[in-house]
């Protein structure tokens, strides 16, 4: 075939295109056409310089199928005409380029792309329902057995993950990242309640990762605080303090979030035997005069909210770690008073049971066996499927105190110890199985 100038060459000259200019325009048109046709084969389509020279020099009758489609898409001219010899005077005749046609094609491509993106978005009602389900599970967490909470949260996590895969809308992805992180944080708490530190730690790290991806400070703080709790439960209080310090740096925290972190800090110092720093952290949890809120700890609340009863329960346990029986009695008494002041439907049975158990331990330290027995016996009303790890470990502590002198030989102490062993045997953590990490005393 004799080399000659083709219509393609003429059109390229009219646009003052070099080979590089043509290649860039060809690649852009290929991607545009690929989106319209939903065909990924167009995405990597390019033109080598020798091929371009053959096309413009009339040495190719017809390019391959995909390339031909792109050429026709670029110029809105049949490919056979593009590769045919140019008519005389083509360079001086009005350009073949049709602005109106190009505008129409560009607007159509933009419309196609917009509809393609819209098809990758979620209906607003779907997000609303997911958000409502998350709020409901957070606020009713304490009202159901941990097995049930875990099951419901698992379904919700799968829904959030599925929705993330179905949308490319930035605002929707941002909200879904936050919801997925909140669900992971609640799953971490349920795994902890079921007695599995390993699963709880992985889930808390997932929540922290979601929070970081969403740039959402309250979620990152809650997750880091949870990692601190898990660390001191696992016998690593120094690491727990590192997590707390990290959590306290996150922006956007309300007073309830800061109080929770101070309580966790105090517990970590309690495990380290540092009574001065523990007392300072306890005071700090009460001394915050600001009433600012955040939309996780306060807005959603429920399991995310560290209210006065939870603070007092945590401080009572810290005092026990430091063998401060008087302080433990004071804080646990506050928990019981706060619970008693609530209508029955708003009380949290496990919080009350944990406070009763800690107060029984404080009474045993003071030598009051009968008072301890009367204090702890009501926890038997809590069904076995709600006897979570935090309660079970506190019961273990009371059981251990019953074996110390001079209590160990007392008939009442022996009988109470046997009752507590049976209580633990039917508890939730005993049903998790040997794969769960063993919790250490002092949660």
Q: At what angle do helices 170-193 and 217-233 cross, to 10 degrees?
A: 20
pLDDT, mean over the chain? 86
Instruction: Output DSSP code: residue 18.
Output: -
Q: What local confidence, expressed as pLDDT, does residue 268 receive? A: 98
Looking at residue 436, its pLDDT comes to: 42
In the chain, count H helices and then E strands. Answer: 21, 0
Output the pTM of the full model: 0.72
For 380-395, the pLDDT digits (tens) are 999 988 999 999 999 9
Q: What is the pLDDT of residue 3?
A: 56
Residue at which a domain ends, from 118, 149, 179? 118
Torsion angle of alpha carbons 201, 207, 212, 218, nearest 10°? -110
- In this predicted structure, what is the pLDDT of residue 169? 86
More confident residue, 96 or 160: 160
Residue 87 DSSP one-character state: P
- Only one residue has tokens 């430091």, namely 322
- The pLDDT of residue 50 is above 50: yes
pLDDT in tens, 306-347: 999 999 999 999 999 999 999 999 999 999 999 999 998 888
Residue 219 in any domain: the answer is: no
Q: How many CA atoms lie within 13 A of 316 on its CB side?
A: 29
pLDDT tens, 252-291?
Answer: 999 999 999 999 999 999 999 999 999 999 999 998 878 8
Q: Report the pLDDT value the prediction gives residue 130, as an integer from 0 to 100.
A: 92
* Residue that terminates a domain, selected from 118, 134, 154: 118
Residue 294 domain-assigned (yes or no): no
Residue 91 resides in a domain: yes
Mean pLDDT within 204-212:
96
Domain boundary among 96, 118, 140: 118
Residue 295, pLDDT > 50, answer yes
Whole-number pLDDT of residue 217? 97
Residue with tokens 């019981």: 336
69 within a domain of the structure (yes/no) = yes
Q: Name the percent of the chain in helix, strand, coil, to the closest 5.
A: 70, 0, 30
Phi-psi region of 276 (alpha: psi -120 to 50; beta: other; left: phi over 0): alpha
| Domain assignment of residue 50, given as a range | 7-118
The count of domains in the chain is 2
In the numeric block, which tokens belong to residue 362? Answer: 């404080």
**pLDDT of 61:** 62
Residue 149 lies in a domain: no
Nearest CA among 178, 189, 245, 184 for reference residue 218? 178
Asked whether residue 365 is domain-assigned, the answer is yes
Average pLDDT, integer, range 64-85: 86
Tell me the residue length of the chain.
443
For range 46-56, the mean pLDDT = 85
**pLDDT reading at 192 higher than 50:** yes
CATH number, domain at 320?
1.25.40
**Residue position matching structure tokens 């048109």:** 29
Task: State pLDDT tens for residues 347-404.
Answer: 899 999 999 999 999 999 999 999 999 999 999 999 988 999 999 999 999 999 999 9
**42: which residues sit within 8 A by CB, 6+ positions away?**
30, 31, 33, 34, 66, 70
Tell me the average pLDDT across 414-423.
Answer: 93
Mean pLDDT of 71-85: 86
Cβ neighbour number for residue 425 with a 10 Å cutoff: 9
Question: Could you write out the DSSP letters of every residue in 57-95?
Answer: TT--S---HHHHHHHHHHHSS-HHHHTSBPPTTTTTSPP
Q: What is the pLDDT of residue 107?
A: 52
pLDDT for the residue numbered 85: 85
Reported as a single tens digit per residue, the pLDDT across 213-255 is 999 999 999 999 999 999 999 999 999 999 999 999 999 999 9
Q: Considering the chain, what percentage of its residues have pLDDT values greater than 90?
A: 58
pLDDT band (50, 70, 90) for residue 115: very low
The Cα 378–Cα 357 span in angstroms is 10
Identify whether 140 is part of a domain: no
Residue 416: inside a domain: yes
Tens-place pLDDT, residues 84-107: 887 754 444 444 444 454 455 555
């Amino acid at each position: 075939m004799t080399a000659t100038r083709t219509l393609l060459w003429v059109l390229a000259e009219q646009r003052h295109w070099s080979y590089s200019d043509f290649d860039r325009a060809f690649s852009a048109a290929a991607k545009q056409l690929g989106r319209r046709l939903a065909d990924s084969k167009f995405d990597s389509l390019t033109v080598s310089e020798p091929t371009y020279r053959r096309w413009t020099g009339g040495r190719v009758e017809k390019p391959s199928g995909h390339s031909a489609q792109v050429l026709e898409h670029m110029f809105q001219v049949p490919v056979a005409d593009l590769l045919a010899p140019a008519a005389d005077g083509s360079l001086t005749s009005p350009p073949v380029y049709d602005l109106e046609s190009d505008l129409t094609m560009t607007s159509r491509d933009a419309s196609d792309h917009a509809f393609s993106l819209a098809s990758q978005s979620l209906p607003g009602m779907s997000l609303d329902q997911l958000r409502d389900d998350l709020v409901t599970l957070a606020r009713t967490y304490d009202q159901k057995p941990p097995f049930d909470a875990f099951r419901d949260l698992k379904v919700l996590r799968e829904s959030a993950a599925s929705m993330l895969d179905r949308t490319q809308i930035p605002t929707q992805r941002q909200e879904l990242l936050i919801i997925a992180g909140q669900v992971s944080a609640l799953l971490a708490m349920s795994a902890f309640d079921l007695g599995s530190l390993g699963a709880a730690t992985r889930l808390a790290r997932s929540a922290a990762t979601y929070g970081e991806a969403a740039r959402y400070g309250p979620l990152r703080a809650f997750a880091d605080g949870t990692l601190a709790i898990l660390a001191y439960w696992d016998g690593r209080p120094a690491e727990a303090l590192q997590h707390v310090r990290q959590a306290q740096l996150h922006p956007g925290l309300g007073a309830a979030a800061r109080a929770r972190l101070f309580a966790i800090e105090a517990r970590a110092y309690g495990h380290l035997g540092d009574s001065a720093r523990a007392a300072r952290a306890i005071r700090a949890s009460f001394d915050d005069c600001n009433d600012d809120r955040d939309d996780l700890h306060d807005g959603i609340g429920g399991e995310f909210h560290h209210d006065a009863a939870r603070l007092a329960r945590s401080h009572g346990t810290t005092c026990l770690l430091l063998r401060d029986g008087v302080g433990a009695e004071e804080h646990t008494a506050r928990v019981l008073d706060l619970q008693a002041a609530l209508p029955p439907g708003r009380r949290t049975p496990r919080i009350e049971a944990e406070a009763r158990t800690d107060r029984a331990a404080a009474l045993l330290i003071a030598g009051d066996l009968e008072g301890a027995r009367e204090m702890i016996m009501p926890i038997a009303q809590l069904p076995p499927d709600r006897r979570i790890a935090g309660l079970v470990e506190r019961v273990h502590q009371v059981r251990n105190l019953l074996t110390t002198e001079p209590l160990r030989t007392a008939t009442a102490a022996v009988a109470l110890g046997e009752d507590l062993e049976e209580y633990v045997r039917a508890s939730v953590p005993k049903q998790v199985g040997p794969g769960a990490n063993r919790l250490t005393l002092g949660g």
